[in-house]
């Protein structure tokens, strides 16, 4: 087993990504997480504050082991969850600033929980979400016409402050994240035709999931959440992608909406935020 972390780049994660096509959609989380970072690095090869690692062992590469630290967010993947590779890689990371472990596939939560225990890390939260999944062929059937008086368009970076402010998960540094996702990923907004006011939206998060799905309070209960979800799912399907969304079990309205549209729950993903061990650390807005 590897004894140190090895820095990897675009070529490596492109090779790893192909490994995750097997037994589809078992590894769709890892596949689409890497898909997102592959596209990021193709568009912007020298992105700051994204560090990608595997272990310095052939077995780690054979099993596509990756650990990606994107500013303060951690993503991890591996074909195998029983041989200790994931735990070893996590143990070698620097946890001093605190990390937001994001959309961690359920098969790797044991390794993460053990790491938290062994390093005696304090958790801000530990949440489970259901993974809703739809094949591209089905998502192609979701194409929708906007309601009368409204238009569907991709979001612009100018919309980011509103999207961030209305996002229940917003936090210090998240405006930069929202701006980047709008700039580099598929997104959809529903705008009032006459005033161009943005009333509902959805973006694609780094894990490849639909996220930040919001409807302005003034326009709720009109089915607009479903409209933007259908449109973004259709746009992803046109690119050949299956569609995924993560929804907390207590979020009944979203769970019912995705089920009604034909999504199926195929797995769970976890979100853990660890507290900094070396004093409080916050990301500046512009990085």
Q: What is the pLDDT of residues 113-132, one digit of tens each?
A: 999 999 999 999 999 999 99
**Assigned CATH for 136-241:** 3.40.630.30
Query: E strands along the chain, which residues?
Result: 5-7, 50-55, 66-70, 73-77, 100-105, 123-134, 150-153, 187-192, 198-204, 210-215, 243-247, 264-274
pLDDT of residue 106: 97
Tell me the torsion sign for CA atoms 131, 41, 100, 166.
negative
| Rounded average pLDDT over 260-268 | 98
Confidence band for 48, pLDDT divided at 50, 70 and 90:
confident
Rounded to the nearest angstrom, the gap between the alpha carbon of residue 251 and the centroid of all alpha carbons in its chain is 18
CATH fit for domain 5-129+270-274, picks 3.90.45.10, 3.40.630.30, 3.40.50.300, 1.25.40.20: 3.40.630.30
pLDDT of residue 66: 98
Which tens digits make up the pLDDT trace of 65-111? 999 999 999 999 999 999 999 999 999 999 999 999 999 999 999 99
pTM above 0.75, yes or no: yes
Outline which parts of the chain fall under CATH 3.40.630.30: 5-129+270-274, 136-241
**Integer Cα distance of 258 and 252 in angstroms:** 10
Which tens digits make up the pLDDT trace of 211-245? 999 999 999 999 999 999 999 999 999 999 999 99
Nearest by Cα to 202 from 238, 240, 239, 244: 244
């Amino acid at each position: 087993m590897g004894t140190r972390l090895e820095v990897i780049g675009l070529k490596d994660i492109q090779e790893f990504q192909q490994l995750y096509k097997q037994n589809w959609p078992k590894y769709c989380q890892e596949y689409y997480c890497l898909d997102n970072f592959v596209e990021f690095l193709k568009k912007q090869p020298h992105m700051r504050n994204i560090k990608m690692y595997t272990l310095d062992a052939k077995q780690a590469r054979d099993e596509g082991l990756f650990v990606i630290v994107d500013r303060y967010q951690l993503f991890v993947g591996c074909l195998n969850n029983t041989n200790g590779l994931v735990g070893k890689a996590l143990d070698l990371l620097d946890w001093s600033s605190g990390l937001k472990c994001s959309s961690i596939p359920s098969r790797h939560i044991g390794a993460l929980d053990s790491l938290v225990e062994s390093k005696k890390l304090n958790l801000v939260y530990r949440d489970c979400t259901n993974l809703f999944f739809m094949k591209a062929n089905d998502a192609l059937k979701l194409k929708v016409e906007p309601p009368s008086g409204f238009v569907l368009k991709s979001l612009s970076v100018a919309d980011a402050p509103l999207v961030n402010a209305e996002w229940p998960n917003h936090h210090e540094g998240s405006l930069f994240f929202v701006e980047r996702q709008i700039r580099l990923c598929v997104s959809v907004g529903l705008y009032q035709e006459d005033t161009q006011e943005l009333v509902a939206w959805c973006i694609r998060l780094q894990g490849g999931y639909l996220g930040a799905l919001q409807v302005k309070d003034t326009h709720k209960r009109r089915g607009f959440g479903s409209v933007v979800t259908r449109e973004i799912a259709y746009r992803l399907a046109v690119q050949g992608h299956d569609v995924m969304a993560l929804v907390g079990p207590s979020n009944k309205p979203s769970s019912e909406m995705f089920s009604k549209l034909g999504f199926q729950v195929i797995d769970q993903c976890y979100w853990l935020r660890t507290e900094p061990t070396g004093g409080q650390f916050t990301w500046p807005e512009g990085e």
